[in-house]
Amino acid sequence: MCGITGYIGDSQAAPILIGALKKLEYRGYDSAGIAVLNEDGFTIRKTKGQLSVLEKKLENETISGSLGIGHTRWATHGEPSDINSHPHTDVSGRITVVHNGIIENYLSLKEWLQARDVVFISDTDTEVIAHLINYHIQEEAREKHGLLRAVQKVLARLEGSYALAIAATDYPDRIIAVRKDSPLVIGIGRGENIIASDIPALLSHTRDVIYMEDGEIAVIYRDHVEMLNAAGDRVIRPVFHVDWDAEAAEKGGYTHFMLKEIHDQAAALSDTLRPRLKDNEIVFEEPGIDESFEGAERIVITACGTAWHAAIVGKYVFEQLARIPVEVDIASEYRYRNPVQGRNDVFIVISQSGETADTLAAMRLAKKNGNRILAVTNVVGSTLAREADMKLYTRAGPEIAVASTKAFTTQLMCLYLLALKLGRRRGFIGDEDYKEYIQALSRIPSQAEKLLAKQDLIQRFASQQFNKAKVFFMGRQVDYAIGLESALKLKEISYTHSEAFAAGELKHGPIALVDKNTLVVTVATQKRLFDKIISNIREISSRGGASLVITWEGETVFAPVAGEVFAIPRTEDCFSPILSIIPAQLFAYYCSILRGNNPDKPRNLAKSVTVE
């Protein structure tokens, strides 16, 4: 996720672009840049680091020009650096582009351009767009609509998701904006127009906006906008008046970043999965991943907190799908014991931030002992990503709320892809099963969306239960792992005492705590264990505890024993965690609100634990 903007009008563009980028910084903050056009061509200033670094750079400089585009980046291709920052230009420097999204076929396009002697400067997928426009614009002889036609030809060659703002020195009266599967809105001003990835960036200029539809292209002039639909036909789109308050708008209309990020999950899961599926086959664009398990005899996974819970799910999944032994350890434990490591262990490290001190220390220890390190992380260019031998990126986009949500589910998606690929290579998954698993994964983003549409049910349940003194989560196998993650979510933002246990452990101790002030949430997706889980729930109810069961849609066995049942869409049993965690995230969120807390900033907690 990145933020893009563009301005054309009578005012100086640079301060307006910076102002807009400030409002978009929540979409990405590892680098930023602007390009402003005047009679001498483009002035481009871009830099690694937060927007404040760019602002500092511009402090003693006046950049004149009343047309410009800007970008705040969250790296996906190429680590954060000055060179990889946007805007990107073609070889002539006459075309500049900012991009939010992923060009899935950029490698083949890059090779095609390189075969035509185009020299690339950055490692980004975006740069191909600038070069391709330059290539196709040669065919247009600088006609009135030459830039538009060149852009249309380029779009026909792009696969993936993108919102683009494009400017060219030969067309100084316009910006071209394009939207496909990434958001883009046009703010309609008086004698000026401004585009941005999100409404908050427009609000200090105008509240009249056009929401671009997928596949649409807009040619933005200072005094009017021309729009074309995906078929290339001119369309007139309605202008909406936005009356959101500016702060709510920054969260996309959600009251908190956490709620927004819970809702981001459908898109984040799709962004993590889609670029890695080609013709029903899992293909990792990241170098070395396919070979990383060659000759592996064991997998060791370490992480902290939520990422550790993803690792526990990973253990069950690797063992089931790839029949390989897996050991999981908390990074802070691993680093201080004297682990027995095999030379043929593959060491997977999971971390949203890629900067967690204990996780880095565990990774360094394993590296020193000669293990291959595969990092699953959300932050391109993080310490973990730089030091690991191989990296697989979650494409969750920036996670602002302290409590991790979309990072967790995208970590699970990455682990599923790895386990499926490995299971196939090791001969434990046949053709038909592989196809079915891939189809099941492909349905997950829309199933997550369907599930999120039922959030009112969880909100209502939370309003009845938020004052419980104790909340326990139980489950078996992957459901136990989801219990652990659910309990962590609830305790960290609602400050309710919550614990998780493997349901089989109930009688070994935890049941002593169950009374009428206890809520027990059971995650039940492993059908072969339903009878045992039903007995566990009965034991809770007979001691006065309230009970909620999270299980599959259409499953009727729990209604007679549980107080409440919440249904999730059906998928393969081992993929259930990616869906069953969503109601628990929502439950934690609503309990936090009902208890008067700020779920985005829980007490005593920091987003990234970079010290021990």
Show which residues are catalytic. Answer: 2, 607
Q: Which of 104, 27, 38, 110 is nearest to 71 (CA)?
A: 27
CB of 349 to ligand F6R, least distance (A): 9
> Distance (Å, rounded) from C-alpha 306 to C-alpha 590?
19
Residue nearest to ligand F6R (CB): 305
CB of 401 to ligand F6R, least distance (A): 8
Q: Which residue type occupies 170?
A: D
Options 42-50, 76-84, 207-215, 299-307: segment touching ligand F6R (CB under 6 A): 299-307
- Pick between residue 359 and residue 371 the one whose CB is nearest to ligand F6R: 359
Q: Please pick, from the candidates 65, 101, 305, 423, the single residue that binds ligand F6R as defined by CB under 6 A.
A: 305
- Pick between residue 196 and residue 390 the one whose CB is nearest to ligand F6R: 390
Q: Please pick, from the candidates 31, 126, 353, 486, the single residue that binds ligand F6R as defined by CB under 6 A.
A: 353
Residues 6+ apart with CB under 8 A from 90: 130, 131, 133, 134
Are residues 467 and 591 in contact, defined by beta-carbon separation less than 8 angstroms? no
Q: Which residue type occupies 542?
A: S
Are residues 187 and 5 in contact, defined by beta-carbon separation less than 8 angstroms? no
Q: Taking the C-alpha atoms of 444, 449, 450 and 451 in order, what is their torsion angle to the nearest 10 degrees?
A: 90
Give the DSSP H/E element, type plus range, for residue 101.
Answer: strand 95-103
Options 2-10, 283-291, 298-306, 473-481: segment touching ligand F6R (CB under 6 A): 298-306
> Distance (Å, rounded) from C-alpha 127 to C-alpha 125?
6
CB of 595 to ligand F6R, least distance (A): 17
> Distance (Å, rounded) from C-alpha 185 to C-alpha 9?
17
Q: Is 415 exposed, middle or buried (0-12, 13-18, 19+ CB in 10 A)?
A: buried
SS3 28: coil
Angle at 578 between CA 573 and CA 584, to 5 degrees: 110
Strand segments (E) across 9-61: 31-38, 41-48
Options 139-147, 190-198, 235-243, 345-353: segment touching ligand F6R (CB under 6 A): 345-353
Residues 6+ apart with CB under 8 A from 404: 305, 306, 307, 352
- ω into 569 cis (within 30 of 0): no
Using the rule CB under 6 A, is 362 a contact of ligand F6R? no
Find the binding residues for ligand F6R in span 392-431 (CB under 6 A): 403-404
Find the binding residues for ligand F6R in span 524-543 (CB under 6 A): none
CB of 179 to ligand F6R, least distance (A): 31
CB of 359 to ligand F6R, least distance (A): 5
Using the rule CB under 6 A, is 496 a contact of ligand F6R? no
Using the rule CB under 6 A, is 259 a contact of ligand F6R? no
Options 107-115, 135-143, 350-358, 509-517: segment touching ligand F6R (CB under 6 A): 350-358
Using the rule CB under 6 A, is 522 a contact of ligand F6R? no
CB of 389 to ligand F6R, least distance (A): 18
Site string for ligand F6R, 106-135 (x = CB under 6 A): ------------------------------
Site string for ligand F6R, 432-471 (x = CB under 6 A): ----------------------------------------
Q: Which of 101, 111, 79, 76 is nearest to 161 (CA)?
A: 101
- Residues pairing with 501 in the sheet: 474
Options 96-104, 284-292, 301-309, 428-436: segment touching ligand F6R (CB under 6 A): 301-309
- Pick between residue 402 and residue 429 the one whose CB is nearest to ligand F6R: 402
Q: Please pick, from the candidates 16, 307, 362, 588, the single residue that binds ligand F6R as defined by CB under 6 A.
A: 307
Are residues 566 and 548 in contact, defined by beta-carbon separation less than 8 angstroms? yes
Are residues 137 and 147 in contact, defined by beta-carbon separation less than 8 angstroms? yes
CB of 581 to ligand F6R, least distance (A): 11
Are residues 464 and 292 in contact, defined by beta-carbon separation less than 8 angstroms? no
> Distance (Å, rounded) from C-alpha 16 to C-alpha 36?
11
Q: Please pick, from the candidates 265, 352, 447, 518, the single residue that binds ligand F6R as defined by CB under 6 A.
A: 352
CB of 358 to ligand F6R, least distance (A): 8
Q: Please pick, from the candidates 359, 394, 455, 465, the single residue that binds ligand F6R as defined by CB under 6 A.
A: 359
Task: Name the residues that contact ligand F6R, by CB under 6 A.
Answer: 304-307, 351-353, 356, 359, 403-404, 488, 492, 608-609
